[in-house]
Amino acid sequence: MSEVAHFFLDEGNLIKIRLPFNSKFIKHFRKNTYNTYVWNRQEKVYQTPFSTYAFKFAAKDCTKFFEISYCDKLKPIIEFTDSIKDCIFEPTLVRSGNFYYIVGSNESLHEQIKDMALDDSMQSLYACSLLGIKVHEDILANNLPKQFAASRTFRISKDMVPLVRDWLRMLEIQNIVMSPRFGSDVKNSLNIQASYVIDQLNKASFSIIIPKNRTQLHTNIRDNLAGKRFVYFSTKLEDQYEVANNINADKVVVLDF
Protein backbone atom coordinates (compact mmCIF):
# COMPACT_ATOMS: atom_id res chain seq x y z
CA MET A 1 0.00 0.00 0.00
CA SER A 2 1.37 3.45 -0.98
CA GLU A 3 2.24 6.01 1.66
CA VAL A 4 -0.09 9.03 1.81
CA ALA A 5 0.58 12.74 2.32
CA HIS A 6 -2.42 14.44 3.94
CA PHE A 7 -3.09 18.08 2.97
CA PHE A 8 -5.44 20.10 5.14
CA LEU A 9 -6.38 23.73 5.79
CA ASP A 10 -6.77 25.05 9.34
CA GLU A 11 -8.88 27.94 10.65
CA GLY A 12 -5.92 30.30 10.44
CA ASN A 13 -5.68 29.79 6.66
CA LEU A 14 -2.52 27.71 7.03
CA ILE A 15 -2.02 24.82 4.68
CA LYS A 16 -0.55 21.84 6.56
CA ILE A 17 0.93 18.57 5.35
CA ARG A 18 1.17 15.46 7.49
CA LEU A 19 3.18 12.69 5.90
CA PRO A 20 5.25 9.61 6.72
CA PHE A 21 8.96 10.04 7.36
CA ASN A 22 10.94 9.83 4.13
CA SER A 23 14.54 11.09 4.18
CA LYS A 24 14.70 11.37 0.39
CA PHE A 25 11.58 13.55 0.33
CA ILE A 26 12.86 15.77 3.17
CA LYS A 27 16.16 16.38 1.38
CA HIS A 28 14.36 17.11 -1.90
CA PHE A 29 11.72 19.34 -0.26
CA ARG A 30 14.10 21.49 1.75
CA LYS A 31 16.62 22.28 -0.97
CA ASN A 32 14.25 24.50 -3.00
CA THR A 33 15.01 28.19 -2.43
CA TYR A 34 11.34 29.20 -2.72
CA ASN A 35 10.02 26.63 -0.25
CA THR A 36 8.17 28.61 2.45
CA TYR A 37 7.02 25.59 4.47
CA VAL A 38 8.30 25.27 8.02
CA TRP A 39 8.27 22.24 10.27
CA ASN A 40 5.81 22.42 13.17
CA ARG A 41 7.35 20.09 15.77
CA GLN A 42 4.34 20.04 18.07
CA GLU A 43 1.86 19.00 15.39
CA LYS A 44 4.46 17.15 13.26
CA VAL A 45 3.37 18.87 10.06
CA TYR A 46 4.85 21.16 7.41
CA GLN A 47 2.90 24.40 7.22
CA THR A 48 2.75 27.76 5.43
CA PRO A 49 0.11 30.46 4.76
CA PHE A 50 -2.20 29.24 2.01
CA SER A 51 -1.71 30.34 -1.57
CA THR A 52 -2.25 28.48 -4.80
CA TYR A 53 1.48 28.68 -5.44
CA ALA A 54 2.35 27.15 -2.05
CA PHE A 55 -0.23 24.42 -2.56
CA LYS A 56 0.91 23.54 -6.08
CA PHE A 57 4.57 23.68 -5.05
CA ALA A 58 4.06 21.10 -2.30
CA ALA A 59 1.61 18.94 -4.23
CA LYS A 60 4.04 18.68 -7.15
CA ASP A 61 6.88 17.58 -4.85
CA CYS A 62 4.75 15.23 -2.75
CA THR A 63 3.37 13.33 -5.76
CA LYS A 64 6.93 12.19 -6.50
CA PHE A 65 6.99 10.28 -3.19
CA PHE A 66 3.42 9.83 -1.92
CA GLU A 67 -0.20 9.56 -2.82
CA ILE A 68 -2.09 12.72 -1.80
CA SER A 69 -5.24 13.11 0.27
CA TYR A 70 -7.07 16.46 0.56
CA CYS A 71 -9.31 17.57 3.40
CA ASP A 72 -12.90 18.64 2.71
CA LYS A 73 -11.97 22.35 3.05
CA LEU A 74 -9.34 22.12 0.34
CA LYS A 75 -11.42 20.25 -2.24
CA PRO A 76 -13.81 23.13 -3.18
CA ILE A 77 -10.88 25.57 -3.31
CA ILE A 78 -8.99 23.29 -5.68
CA GLU A 79 -12.11 22.88 -7.85
CA PHE A 80 -12.74 26.65 -7.89
CA THR A 81 -9.12 27.40 -8.76
CA ASP A 82 -9.15 24.86 -11.59
CA SER A 83 -12.37 26.37 -12.94
CA ILE A 84 -10.89 29.89 -13.31
CA LYS A 85 -7.20 29.23 -13.97
CA ASP A 86 -7.66 29.46 -17.75
CA CYS A 87 -9.41 32.85 -17.38
CA ILE A 88 -6.80 34.53 -15.17
CA PHE A 89 -3.36 35.31 -16.53
CA GLU A 90 -2.16 37.83 -13.92
CA PRO A 91 -1.74 37.44 -10.15
CA THR A 92 -5.25 37.94 -8.77
CA LEU A 93 -6.78 37.89 -5.29
CA VAL A 94 -9.80 35.58 -5.29
CA ARG A 95 -12.19 34.27 -2.66
CA SER A 96 -13.65 30.83 -2.15
CA GLY A 97 -16.00 30.62 0.80
CA ASN A 98 -14.21 32.37 3.67
CA PHE A 99 -10.73 31.90 2.24
CA TYR A 100 -8.72 34.41 0.22
CA TYR A 101 -5.72 33.51 -1.89
CA ILE A 102 -3.71 34.57 -4.94
CA VAL A 103 -4.28 32.81 -8.25
CA GLY A 104 -1.55 33.11 -10.89
CA SER A 105 1.21 33.72 -8.36
CA ASN A 106 4.88 32.94 -8.97
CA GLU A 107 7.96 32.21 -6.90
CA SER A 108 9.15 35.78 -6.35
CA LEU A 109 5.65 37.12 -5.62
CA HIS A 110 4.90 34.31 -3.20
CA GLU A 111 8.02 35.24 -1.25
CA GLN A 112 6.63 38.79 -0.87
CA ILE A 113 3.13 37.78 0.20
CA LYS A 114 3.87 34.76 2.38
CA ASP A 115 3.37 36.77 5.61
CA MET A 116 0.66 39.09 4.29
CA ALA A 117 -2.89 38.85 5.61
CA LEU A 118 -5.27 38.30 2.71
CA ASP A 119 -8.87 39.43 3.08
CA ASP A 120 -11.26 42.05 1.68
CA SER A 121 -10.23 44.90 3.99
CA MET A 122 -9.15 48.15 2.36
CA GLN A 123 -5.66 47.74 3.81
CA SER A 124 -5.24 44.27 2.30
CA LEU A 125 -6.60 45.34 -1.09
CA TYR A 126 -4.29 48.36 -1.07
CA ALA A 127 -1.30 46.14 -0.26
CA CYS A 128 -2.26 43.92 -3.19
CA SER A 129 -2.40 46.92 -5.53
CA LEU A 130 1.13 47.96 -4.54
CA LEU A 131 2.39 44.51 -5.57
CA GLY A 132 0.56 44.59 -8.87
CA ILE A 133 -1.99 42.00 -7.73
CA LYS A 134 -5.42 42.42 -9.24
CA VAL A 135 -8.57 41.80 -7.20
CA HIS A 136 -11.35 39.63 -8.57
CA GLU A 137 -14.60 41.50 -9.26
CA ASP A 138 -16.53 39.18 -6.92
CA ILE A 139 -14.59 40.65 -3.99
CA LEU A 140 -15.07 44.27 -5.05
CA ALA A 141 -18.81 43.78 -5.64
CA ASN A 142 -19.57 47.39 -6.68
CA ASN A 143 -18.07 48.61 -3.40
CA LEU A 144 -16.46 52.00 -4.07
CA PRO A 145 -14.08 52.07 -1.07
CA LYS A 146 -12.77 48.61 -1.96
CA GLN A 147 -12.46 49.55 -5.63
CA PHE A 148 -10.47 52.62 -4.63
CA ALA A 149 -8.14 50.62 -2.38
CA ALA A 150 -7.54 47.98 -5.05
CA SER A 151 -6.89 50.42 -7.93
CA ARG A 152 -3.66 52.11 -8.96
CA THR A 153 -5.64 54.67 -11.01
CA PHE A 154 -9.09 55.83 -9.90
CA ARG A 155 -11.34 58.41 -11.55
CA ILE A 156 -13.60 60.51 -9.34
CA SER A 157 -16.37 63.07 -9.71
CA LYS A 158 -16.54 66.25 -7.63
CA ASP A 159 -18.91 64.82 -5.05
CA MET A 160 -16.47 61.98 -4.35
CA VAL A 161 -13.61 64.23 -3.16
CA PRO A 162 -14.65 64.12 0.54
CA LEU A 163 -15.00 60.35 0.29
CA VAL A 164 -11.51 59.98 -1.20
CA ARG A 165 -10.15 62.18 1.58
CA ASP A 166 -11.60 59.79 4.16
CA TRP A 167 -10.42 56.69 2.27
CA LEU A 168 -6.86 58.04 2.15
CA ARG A 169 -6.96 58.53 5.90
CA MET A 170 -8.18 54.97 6.36
CA LEU A 171 -5.22 53.76 4.28
CA GLU A 172 -2.90 55.96 6.37
CA ILE A 173 -1.58 57.81 3.32
CA GLN A 174 -0.26 61.22 4.36
CA ASN A 175 1.44 62.62 1.25
CA ILE A 176 -0.38 64.11 -1.72
CA VAL A 177 1.14 65.59 -4.87
CA MET A 178 -1.01 67.74 -7.13
CA SER A 179 -0.48 67.86 -10.88
CA PRO A 180 1.62 70.84 -12.10
CA ARG A 181 -1.41 71.78 -14.18
CA PHE A 182 -3.04 72.85 -10.92
CA GLY A 183 -0.07 75.04 -10.00
CA SER A 184 -0.50 77.53 -12.80
CA ASP A 185 -0.93 81.19 -11.84
CA VAL A 186 -3.61 81.57 -14.48
CA LYS A 187 -7.09 81.78 -13.01
CA ASN A 188 -8.89 79.11 -14.97
CA SER A 189 -11.17 76.17 -14.39
CA LEU A 190 -8.28 73.98 -13.23
CA ASN A 191 -7.41 76.44 -10.46
CA ILE A 192 -11.01 76.46 -9.30
CA GLN A 193 -11.02 72.67 -9.39
CA ALA A 194 -7.75 72.47 -7.47
CA SER A 195 -8.91 74.98 -4.87
CA TYR A 196 -11.98 72.90 -4.09
CA VAL A 197 -9.94 69.70 -3.81
CA ILE A 198 -7.28 71.30 -1.62
CA ASP A 199 -9.93 72.85 0.64
CA GLN A 200 -11.40 69.40 1.17
CA LEU A 201 -8.02 67.75 1.74
CA ASN A 202 -7.01 70.45 4.20
CA LYS A 203 -9.80 69.25 6.48
CA ALA A 204 -7.45 66.36 7.22
CA SER A 205 -3.76 66.48 8.10
CA PHE A 206 -2.22 65.71 4.71
CA SER A 207 1.11 66.96 3.45
CA ILE A 208 0.26 68.53 0.07
CA ILE A 209 2.78 69.46 -2.61
CA ILE A 210 1.62 71.77 -5.44
CA PRO A 211 4.46 72.11 -7.98
CA LYS A 212 4.29 74.84 -10.61
CA ASN A 213 5.91 72.83 -13.37
CA ARG A 214 7.27 69.40 -14.29
CA THR A 215 10.75 70.20 -13.03
CA GLN A 216 9.42 71.12 -9.58
CA LEU A 217 7.25 68.02 -9.63
CA HIS A 218 10.12 65.59 -10.10
CA THR A 219 12.45 67.55 -7.79
CA ASN A 220 9.89 67.47 -4.98
CA ILE A 221 9.26 63.76 -5.41
CA ARG A 222 12.99 63.04 -5.46
CA ASP A 223 13.92 65.27 -2.51
CA ASN A 224 10.88 64.96 -0.25
CA LEU A 225 9.11 61.69 -1.00
CA ALA A 226 11.86 59.14 -1.64
CA GLY A 227 10.76 55.88 -0.01
CA LYS A 228 7.44 57.39 1.10
CA ARG A 229 3.93 56.55 0.01
CA PHE A 230 2.09 59.25 -1.88
CA VAL A 231 -0.96 59.82 -4.07
CA TYR A 232 -0.88 61.89 -7.23
CA PHE A 233 -3.95 63.97 -8.09
CA SER A 234 -4.18 64.24 -11.86
CA THR A 235 -6.44 66.11 -14.28
CA LYS A 236 -8.52 64.34 -16.89
CA LEU A 237 -6.53 66.28 -19.53
CA GLU A 238 -3.30 64.44 -18.74
CA ASP A 239 -2.07 61.34 -20.54
CA GLN A 240 -2.71 58.73 -17.85
CA TYR A 241 -0.36 56.23 -19.48
CA GLU A 242 2.43 58.79 -19.18
CA VAL A 243 1.45 59.57 -15.59
CA ALA A 244 1.49 55.89 -14.63
CA ASN A 245 4.92 55.38 -16.16
CA ASN A 246 6.64 58.60 -15.08
CA ILE A 247 5.10 59.39 -11.69
CA ASN A 248 5.97 56.61 -9.27
CA ALA A 249 2.90 57.19 -7.11
CA ASP A 250 1.22 54.49 -5.07
CA LYS A 251 -2.09 55.66 -6.48
CA VAL A 252 -3.29 58.16 -9.10
CA VAL A 253 -6.59 59.97 -8.51
CA VAL A 254 -7.98 61.46 -11.72
CA LEU A 255 -10.29 64.44 -11.21
CA ASP A 256 -12.91 63.73 -13.83
CA PHE A 257 -14.92 66.96 -13.53
Q: Are residues 179 and 109 in the same domain?
A: no
Higher pLDDT, 81 or 26: 26
**Most confident by average pLDDT, 100-104, 125-129, 214-218:** 125-129
pLDDT tens across 225-240, in order?
988 999 999 887 777 7
Q: Are residues 40 and 111 in the same domain?
A: yes
pLDDT at residue 186, as a whole number: 47
pLDDT exceeds 50 at position 49: yes
Q: Are residues 166 and 203 in the same domain?
A: yes
Q: Are residues 63 and 121 in the same domain?
A: yes
Confidence of residue 250 (pLDDT cuts 50, 70, 90): very high
Q: Are residues 116 and 33 in the same domain?
A: yes
Q: Are residues 107 and 229 in the same domain?
A: no
Q: What is the mean pLDDT of the chain?
A: 85
pLDDT at residue 116, as a whole number: 84
List of residues 6+ apart from 106 with CB closer than 8 A: 53, 91
Boundary-marking domain end, from 98, 120, 140:
140
Q: Are residues 67 and 178 in the same domain?
A: no
Higher pLDDT, 111 or 249: 249
Instruction: Let me know if residue 115 belongs to a domain.
Output: yes
Structural domain total, the chain: 2
CATH of the domain at 249: 3.40.1010
Instruction: Let me know if residue 145 belongs to a domain.
Output: no
Q: Are residues 114 and 160 in the same domain?
A: no
2, 67 in Cβ contact below 8 A? yes
pLDDT at residue 1, as a whole number: 41
Of the listed ranges 77-81, 196-200, 232-236, 252-256, the least confidently predicted one is: 77-81
Report the distance separating Cα 177 and Cα 179, nearest Å.
Answer: 7
pLDDT at residue 60, as a whole number: 83
Report the distance separating Cα 234 and Cα 240, nearest Å.
Answer: 8
Q: Are residues 136 and 182 in the same domain?
A: no
Instruction: Could you list the beta-strand ranges (E) of the chain.
Output: 4-9, 14-18, 38-40, 45-49, 67-70, 92-96, 99-103, 134-135, 153-156, 175-178, 207-209, 230-235, 251-255
pLDDT tens across 113-153, in order?
777 888 999 999 999 999 989 999 889 988 999 999 999 99
State which residues form the domain around 188.
152-255
> What length is written for the chain?
257
pLDDT at residue 89, as a whole number: 57
Instruction: Let me know if residue 36 belongs to a domain.
Output: yes
Instruction: Let me know if residue 48 belongs to a domain.
Output: yes
Instruction: Let me know if residue 86 belongs to a domain.
Output: yes
Boundary-marking domain end, from 140, 169, 184:
140
Report the distance separating Cα 176 and Cα 180, nearest Å.
Answer: 13
